[in-house]
Amino acid sequence: MTRGSGSVRPGFLTPREVAEALRVSDMTVYRLIKSGELRALRIGKSFRISEEDFDAYLADRFTEAG
C-alpha cells in the first residue's frame, strides 16, 4: 500500500494468520514469538508479525531436499 509521499507501509499478519499459513497451532506461533525465532510487534495485548519478518523466518528455514 503506498501513501502520498511514496513510502510503502508494511503489511502485518496476526498470529492466527501465520499459524494457518504454516499449518500449525496458534500456540506454536506464540512459542516462536516468545523464543525470539519469529519477530513480532506487541500492540496492547495483541501481537502482529510483519510480512517481511514472516518471509525472513521462512527463508531462514528453507532447505532443499536431496
pLDDT in tens, 28-41: 999 999 999 999 99
- The pLDDT value recorded for residue 1 is 45
pTM: 0.80
**Strand order in 41-43's β-sheet?**
12-13, 46-50, 41-43
Alpha carbons within 13 A on the beta-carbon side of 6: 0
Among the four given CATH numbers 3.40.50, 3.90.105, 3.40.30, 3.30.300, the one describing domain 12-60: 3.90.105
